[in-house]
Every structure is written in structure tokens, then in C-alpha cells.
Amino acid sequence: MAKYKNHILVCGGTGCRASQGEEIVQNLGKVLEENSLENEVQVVRTGCFGFCEKGPVVKMVPDNTFYVQVTPEDAPEIVAEHLVKGRKVERLLFTDPETQERVSESKDMGFYKKQIRIALRNCGFINPENIDEYIARDGYAALGKVLTEMTPEEAIKVIIDSGLRGRGGGGFPTGLKWEITRKVEAEQKYVVCNADEGDPGAFMDRSILEGDPHAVLEAMAINGYCTGATKGLIYIRAEYPLAISRLKIAIDQAREYGLLGTGLFGTDYDFDVELRYGAGAFVCGEETSLIHSMEGLRGEPTVKPPFPSESGYKGMPTNVNNVETYANIPVILLEGAEWFSSIGTEKSKGTKVFALAGKVNNVGLIEVPMGTTLREVIFDIGGGIKDGKKFKAVQTGGPSGGCLTEKHLDIPIDYDNLIACGSMMGSGGMIVMDEDDCMVSVAKFYLDFTVEESCGKCAPCRIGNKRLYEMLEKLTEGKGTEEDLTLLRNLSNVIKDTSLCGLGQTSPNPVLSTMENFADEYAAHVHDGKCPAGQCKSLMQYVISDEKCIGCTLCSRVCPVDAITGDKKEPHLISQETCIKCGACYEKCKFGAISIQ
């Protein structure tokens, strides 16, 4: 980035682009030209900054001023004030919700303070469509170092010593996987990047690929060298058009620079990468399904062993790693195993990227050291619960994970602790829920997802999950019995024990964890016929208070089914039999006389 005096980094992540990010870039360009600054100031489209809540985000370099919620119309002011007069545009700075003070640099914002960015090191700093910017930040240096100075065994040892574990959910030690793949003798081996991210609430891998595609390509080439593979495949879901287009650009540029192709760094090592697209099947994220899908088959899993490292794509040894796992590799090789393993907890090293979504103030993408607590993530970084509501639960690990609650807030997050609490690290989605969310409905929701995404190959998952779903539906309709609760628990355990792949083996977790942590709420549905969160339609009642109702008749006029009776100026009454719970009366009543019970 040397040539220009100043840079304006505009977020080009999907989130900010959808809120006029492109127009901001164009307007800035225009205004710079009008002020004859186009040769001094460069506008750079970067990947996601993570702070999507307050997007579009614009960062000024070198002084690191961080502008939030920028609109295309702000372009003239940014140029005239910030660049020409050297004054910050106060109104575009982030306001600290606690102190109400304006904060101008991201490092002083609560959202960024506790974060350490390793996998996301380049997201929001470089233009992902320009390989020179990646190289300027030590890009491809690790590949060069490994190819010219290290044997595969030495490089693998660094990865083993670093303690890096797979970020795709399972947490398998990455170096060990590489070693296993290396040791199998075969004519051809493959390395595969799993970019089929489909967990509800997860968007980490998308953001990495959109913001720093070269990091993944570099790591795959290193992986290839270490395992003895010359072919790389990236399996990416079709739902990620921007990530796909940035990957294509990155692959072309890397080939042009000789960083992919034949004879890399003057050695006799060849490596190239190909893209394969998913077609809308969640189960294809499971590595054996993914391989079958790439082979042109139905994406159904098969029993392991054999593991893909032994026999994978076309029956050849295939090393499958997740996008985020790969994004960590180049830095580890440059900075060393010791540095990496100094971050994190005893058994989980380094950092983890989480996608924060749901009822939290700062939604977005964050990266924290392993061992950070949920409280720090949700309250310090996430800024607490939206609209001053009460925290109720956080769902981690997607459909394989569970709902954690108040009592888990101070547990350090790592692979093993989360499993011990009945959830999972999963790929890193975190959905925060507040007092208005019904946990039985949440469990039902995840089951709906599983039922739809189950490949149907094995009976426990295909039929069992459907039965679980039906039982949960019964509960939300207020028709559940104590016996159903027992059955729910038993069947969950059977499905876990007998399903063929990870999908079925973990799909009852949302049920079990909510039953464990929110037993009262299940009991309320069964015994009192009530939904404490007031979400289950069949269980709620709209009731008019005799005291508050002045008999204005407004409600009876909006009711679509004539469920409300009562004379003018007399308290009205809702017939619960007729009421369809549309809520129209509740919204119309000006006197707060109608409540939900």
C-alpha cells in the first residue's frame, strides 16, 4: 500500500455491501477526483471488519479513524473534513453506549478490546481482490519458507506442536491429521477445503473467504506439500456468490504469480486448486458426504473408518480441513508453534472466530482467544442484550449443539468445556436469546432443520428425528404429557447412539440441553398448559382487563373473527374458543387493556 499517502478502507463484506457499500466506494472516488486527491488517497474495498451491526464501516488509514453507519451521502464530508481539513467527522464516530463518548479508533471500542485476530488478521485490512496487498502483509511467505527451508515432517511438527485443532466442529488435531495423510502411500493424494458452512447462525467461513481468500489458498498449498498432495479442491456452498467470485479471482492471481501451478518457489513442487460447488445440502459439510458429492454421487455419509485421510476422494488419501483451520496455518508457520500455543487454554490453543447473531446488541464477527468466557463474548464484546431485555440462553454449535444459560456464562470457552456442558463448539455460530424466546420452540426449530437436512440413509436419524419433532410440536400445542418428556429423552439417546454420521449423532443435543437447562419451561408447557415466554400460539390467550377497558369497541371492530363481544362503554370480553390469536386487538387497544397470558 506504499504509493498513496492515505487510504480509505471501505467494508466490502456481504453485510455492508447490501447496505450501499458499493455506492460509498463510488461516491468517495468521485469526490476525491473533484478535489484532485485521486493520486494521493486510495479507496480500498476490504473484507468484513466484523462490526456488521454498525455497518457500513469505513476506516481511515494511517490515523485509524473508524467511521460507522456511513451512507453514500457522507462521502463529501469525509473528504472535505477528514482529508482536506484534518478534522474528524464526529457524528460518524462510534458512541460508547456506556460513557456516551465518541470513540475514534477501533482498538478503544468494547467490541474490539478483547479480540485477538489471527484467522481474521487480514479481514478488513486488505483488498481481497488484490494479491499484492496480501503479499505486503507477509502473504505467501510461509509457503516460501516451508518449500525452501523445511521438510514436510518439520512443517507438520510445527503444526502438531502448535496444538491447532480443527475449527470445523470436531476439533481433531490438525497436525496429526496431516501426518496420517502423509504416511499413507498412494499415487495421488488430495487436500480439500471444507467451505460448506451451513450451521444456522454461522458465517465465519464466508467472511474469511470474502475477506482473505489467499490465506486459504496458501495454507492448502502448504498442506499439499506436507501430505504429498498436488491437487487441492475447495467445496463451497452455492449460497455464497461473493466468496466464490473472490476465490476465483484469487486463484487466477496466484496462478499468474506462480504461487499455484508448477514448480512453486523454484522447487519441483506442483500444486493447483479447483473449485467445486455445493447444491444446497447441509449434510454435505460432513466430510465423507462432501467427498461423495464431489464424486458426483448423492451426498450421503459413509461409516468411518476408513477416514478420508486413508481413503477419500476417488479412493485416494484426502486431507479435509475447514476454512478457518486453514486460515490459521500460514501465521503459525511464520510465528512459530510456541507463540500459537501460548494463546488459549490447556487443550484448546489459539483463537476461535464466532459469528454473533440473535438478540445481542453488536451482531457480527469476532475472534477471541480460547478460554474467553461466554459472558465476555456476549456482554463485553456483544454489548449485552438488545432493547434492555434479559439474557436467557445462547445457542452454540448449531444443530449439533445446545442452549447454554446464565449458569454457564463464566465457563471458559473451549472444545472440552462446551461438550461437558452438553453443547459443542461446532463451527462457531452463537445465537443469543432473550426472555421472549421459548426454549421448547427453539428445540423444535432445530429439529425441523435436522429433519429437513437428514440425508435419510439411516433409520434412527430419518425416523427418530421426525418423531422428536412431532413430540415437540405436541408440547408447543399444550397437548404434551409427562410420558412424552420421558419418551423424548429416551428417543434422543437412542438416536445419538445409533445414527451413522455426526448429524444424527448430535441432532438431539438441542432437545437434551434445553430439557436439562430449562426443565421448568418444559414442565410449564406440560402441566400448566402455559408457555412462559408467550411464544407458543396455542398456549397463549388474549385477555381484556375489566378495569382498563373503557368499552371503546375498537378491538371488536378489528377482530377478523368476531371473537370480541361487549356493549359500548362496557368492558369487552374475548371468546377464547373463537379467537385465532392474530393479535390485531392487542395492537389496536389504546388503553393497554388487552394482555397476553
Partner 1 sequence: MAEVKQLVKGLADQHGRTMESLLPILQGIVHQEQHISEDAMVEVARELNISAAQVYGTATFYSFLHTKPLGKYVIRVCKTITCMMHGKNQVIKELESVLKINLGETTHDGKFTLLETNCLGQCHKGPAMLINDEPYTELTPEKVREIIMKYKHQEISAN
Ligand X SMILES: Cc1cc2nc3c(=O)[nH]c(=O)nc-3n(C[C@H](O)[C@H](O)[C@H](O)COP(=O)(O)O)c2cc1C
**Is 489 an interacting residue with respect to ligand SF4 (CB under 6 A)?**
no
Q: Of the candidates 255, 462, 467, 537, which one interacts with ligand SF4 according to CB under 6 A?
A: 462
109 CB-contact burial (10 Å; exposed 0-12 / middle 13-18 / buried 19+)? buried
Identity of the residue numbered 132: D
Distances in whole angstroms, Cα of residue 34 to Cα of each of 28, 37, 160, 189, 391 = 10, 8, 55, 55, 50
| Span of 40-48, 189-197, 256-264, 525-533 interacting with ligand X by CB under 6 A | 189-197
C-alpha cell at 241: 456468490
Q: Interface with ligand X includes 427 (CB under 6 A)? A: yes
**Residue 563 contacts which entry, ligand X, ligand SF4, partner 1, none (Cβ below 5-8 A, type-dependent):** ligand SF4
Cα torsion 33, 36, 39, 40: sign: negative
Among 119, 283, 377, 533, binds ligand X (CB under 6 A): 283
Number of residues that bind ligand SF4 (CB under 6 A): 28
The footprint of ligand FES on residues 173-202 (CB under 6 A) is 200
Q: Are 118 and 370 in contact (CB under 8 A)?
A: no
Q: Is 224 in the site for ligand X (CB under 6 A)?
A: no
C-alpha cell at 23: 455506492
Among 121, 352, 359, 496, binds partner 1 (CB under 8 A): 359
Q: Are 119 and 168 in contact (CB under 8 A)?
A: no
DSSP class of 413: P
Candidates 65, 321, 396, 513; binder of ligand X (CB under 6 A) is 321
Residues 396-455 interacting with ligand FES (rule: CB under 6 A):
none
Cα 583 to chain center, whole Å?
A: 33
Closer Cβ to ligand SF4, 304 or 462, answer by number: 462
Bridging pattern class, strands 190-195 and 318-322:
parallel
Reported as type and span, the H/E element at residue 241 is helix 241-256
Among positions 282, 307, 354, 518, the unique one binding partner 1 when judged by CB under 8 A: 282
Query: Per-residue DSSP letters for 44-86?
Result: EEE---S-GGG-S-EEEETTTEEE-S--GGGHHHIIIIIIII-
**Amino acid sitting at position 163:** G
Q: Of residues 109, 184, 191, 501, which one binds ligand X by CB under 6 A?
A: 501
| Position 13 contacts ligand FES (CB under 6 A) | yes
Measured between alpha carbons, how far is 560 from 389 in angstroms, rounded to an integer? Answer: 32
223 binds ligand X (CB under 6 A): no
290 with 276: CB under 8 angstroms? no
139 binds ligand X (CB under 6 A): no
Q: Please check whether residue 528 is in contact with residue 482, taking contact to mean a CB–CB distance below 8 angstroms.
A: no
**Is residue 508 part of the contact set for partner 1 (CB under 8 A)?**
no
Contact of residue 503 among partner 1, ligand SF4, ligand FES, none (CB under 5-8 Å per partner type): ligand SF4
Residue closer to ligand FES by CB (options 294, 366) is: 366
In the set 68, 291, 443, 461, which binds ligand SF4 (CB under 6 A)?
Answer: 461
With cell 455419509, the residue in question is 301
Instruction: Name the residue nearer to ligand SF4 (CB basis): 7 or 292.
Output: 292
- The answer to whether 321 touches 172, Cβ cutoff 8 Å, is no
For residue 89, give every residue at least 6 positions away whose Cβ sits within 8 Å of its Cβ, in sequence order, or none: 67, 74, 77, 78, 81, 82
Binding mask 292-311 for ligand SF4 (x = CB under 6 A): ---------x----------
Q: Whats the size of the chain, residue-wise?
A: 597
- Binding residue for ligand SF4 (CB under 6 A) from 229, 559, 589, 593? 559
Cα–Cα distance measured from residue 78 to residue 66, given in angstroms and rounded to the nearest whole number? 12
Is residue 58 at the binding interface for ligand FES, with CB under 6 A as the rule?
Answer: no
Q: Which does 367 bind (CB under 5 to 8 A by kind): ligand FES, ligand SF4, partner 1, none?
A: none
Single out the residue of 253, 325, 454, 517 in contact with ligand X (rule: CB under 6 A): 325
> Which does residue 312 bind out of ligand FES, ligand X, ligand SF4, none, counting CB within 5 to 8 angstroms by kind?
none
Q: Which is nearer to partner 1, 14 or 115 (by Cβ)?
A: 14
Packed helices 519-527 and 439-453: angle between N→C axes, nearest 10 degrees = 100
Q: Which of 343, 381, 344 has its CA nearest to residue 360?
A: 381
Work out whether 182 is an interface residue with partner 1 (CB under 8 A).
no
* Residue sitting closest to ligand FES (CB): 13
User: How many other C-beta atoms lie within 10 A of the C-beta of residue 108?
Assistant: 14
Q: List the single partner that 78 binds among partner 1, ligand FES, ligand SF4, none, CB under 5 to 8 Å by kind.
A: none
Q: Which is nearer to ligand X, 419 or 550 (CB)?
A: 419
If one asks whether residue 496 binds ligand SF4 (CB under 6 A), the answer comes out as: no
CA 451, CA 445: separation in Å to the nearest integer?
A: 10
> Which CB, 127 or 194, lies closer to ligand X?
194
Identify the residue whose cell numbers are 419433532: 469
Contact yes or no for 214/136 (Cβ under 8 A): no
The residue among 210, 238, 234, 235 whose CA lies nearest residue 224 is 234
Which of the listed partners (ligand X, ligand FES, ligand SF4, none) does 227 bind, with a CB threshold of 5 to 8 Å by partner kind? none
**Binding residue for ligand SF4, selected from 278, 384, 504, 510, defined by CB under 6 A:** 504
Interatomic CA distance for residues 166 and 135, integer angstroms: 25
Environment class of 364 (CB within 10 Å of its CB; exposed 0-12, middle 13-18, buried 19+): buried
Residues engaged in binding partner 1 (CB under 8 A): 14-15, 18-19, 52-53, 197-203, 206, 237-242, 276-282, 293-300, 314, 355-359, 363-365, 395, 429, 431, 433, 437, 442, 445-446, 449, 452-453, 455
Residues engaged in binding ligand SF4 (CB under 6 A): 283, 301, 454-458, 461-462, 499-501, 503-504, 542, 558-559, 561, 563-564, 574, 579-585
Residues engaged in binding ligand FES (CB under 6 A): 11, 13, 15-16, 48-52, 55, 57, 200, 364
Residues engaged in binding ligand X (CB under 6 A): 166-170, 172, 194, 196-198, 283, 285-287, 320-322, 325, 427, 501-503
